[in-house]
């Protein structure tokens, strides 16, 4: 989707280091980390938020991507967060799952 920062990262129009990638998701370090480890798992298919996610297969692919990302990072203890809607703190309207581990600073997550 045009004018979507995460689509631009996925399409490599904006450079970024992928912490993990498979055919369905990428994982990148958050630009403004709120924990020692703060990674975003982002489906390659543009879906604006959890409210627009209606495909169960796609949902499973995202969960698989989370599990593969934490495995690659060597994490067993971590927090996952999905902000949905601007009143709940969503700022990027391309669905993404925050993975947080280590010392947290989550006042403004």
Q: Which residues of the chain form contacts with ligand AMP (CB under 6 A)?
A: 5, 28, 30-32, 40, 83, 89-92
38 is catalytic: no
88 makes contact, choosing from Zn ion, ligand AMP, none, with CB < 5 to 8 Å by partner type, with none
Q: Go through the chain and tell me how many residues it has.
A: 109
Q: Can you list the alpha helix ranges (DSSP code H) found in 1-109?
A: 5-10, 56-73
Does residue number 7 form part of the binding site for Zn ion (CB under 5 A)? yes
91 makes contact, choosing from Zn ion, ligand AMP, none, with CB < 5 to 8 Å by partner type, with ligand AMP
Q: Which residues of 62-96 are buried (b: 16+ CB within 10 A; e: fewer)?
A: beebbebbbeebeeeebeeeebeeeeeebeebbbb
**In the bound complex, what is the minimum distance in angstroms from residue 78's beta carbon to Zn ion?**
24
Query: Of 38, 46, 94, 96, which residue is the catalytic one?
Result: 96
**In the bound complex, what is the minimum distance in angstroms from residue 32's beta carbon to ligand AMP?**
4
C-alpha 57 chain-centroid distance? 17
């Amino acid at each position: 989707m045009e004018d979507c920062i995460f689509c631009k990262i996925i399409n490599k129009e904006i450079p970024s280091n992928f912490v993990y990638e498979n055919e369905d998701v990428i994982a990148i370090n958050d630009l403004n980390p709120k924990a020692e480890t703060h990674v975003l798992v982002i489906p390659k298919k543009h879906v604006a938020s959890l409210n627009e996610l209606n495909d169960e297969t796609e949902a499973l692919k995202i969960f698989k991507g989370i599990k593969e990302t934490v495995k690659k990072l060597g994490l067993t203890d971590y927090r996952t967060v999905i902000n949905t809607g601007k009143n709940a703190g969503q700022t990027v309207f391309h669905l993404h799952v925050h993975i947080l581990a280590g010392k947290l600073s989550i006042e403004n997550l």
